[in-house]
Amino acid sequence: MNAFWDAQIMDIMEARIVKLELVTEKILERLTAVERDVAVIRSNYATKADLTALQATLEAKLEAKLDAASANYATKADLLALEARLEARLAAFETTIIKWFVGTAVTLSGLSFAAAKLIA
């Protein structure tokens, strides 16, 4: 009877070993697929170091463009100086216009008096 039980235990053990071997094969296939996926990820995706280098490059380019652009912009001091120059030119223009107006008025008055004297 002991041999009978030993034979059944061996059959059960063999069946379990076969199942374990099948599961092991499936696990190895899945592990191979995971390793392949990891290799693809490593070859195609950026690392933190890559991103840091890219960020530094972009920051440097942006800083250079901002410096170049800021050279073309006027500051508040530039605008105040421009305003002062414009006010001075407007004042000079106003003075010139007044001089011409007064000169023209005097000339027209003189011509009017001369015409009136000739007519009378």
How does pLDDT run across 52-75, given as a tens digit for each residue?
999 999 999 999 998 888 777 888
Q: Is residue 27 domain-shared with residue 68, that is, in the same domain? A: yes
Q: Is residue 49 domain-shared with residue 96, that is, in the same domain? A: no
Q: Is residue 7 domain-shared with residue 63, that is, in the same domain? A: yes
Could you give the number of structural domains in the chain? Answer: 2
Q: Is residue 56 domain-shared with residue 102, that is, in the same domain? A: no
Query: Tokens 């069946």 identify what position?
Result: 15
Q: Is residue 55 domain-shared with residue 83, that is, in the same domain? A: no
Whole-structure pTM value: 0.41
How does pLDDT run across 99-108, given as a tens digit for each residue?
999 999 999 9
Q: Which domain holds residue 22?
A: 1-73
Q: Is residue 8 domain-shared with residue 20, that is, in the same domain? A: yes
Question: How far are the Cα atoms of 54, 61, 63, 64 from residue 58, in angstroms, in the given order?
Answer: 6, 5, 8, 10
How does pLDDT run across 76-87, given as a tens digit for each residue?
998 999 999 999
Q: Is residue 49 domain-shared with residue 85, that is, in the same domain? A: no
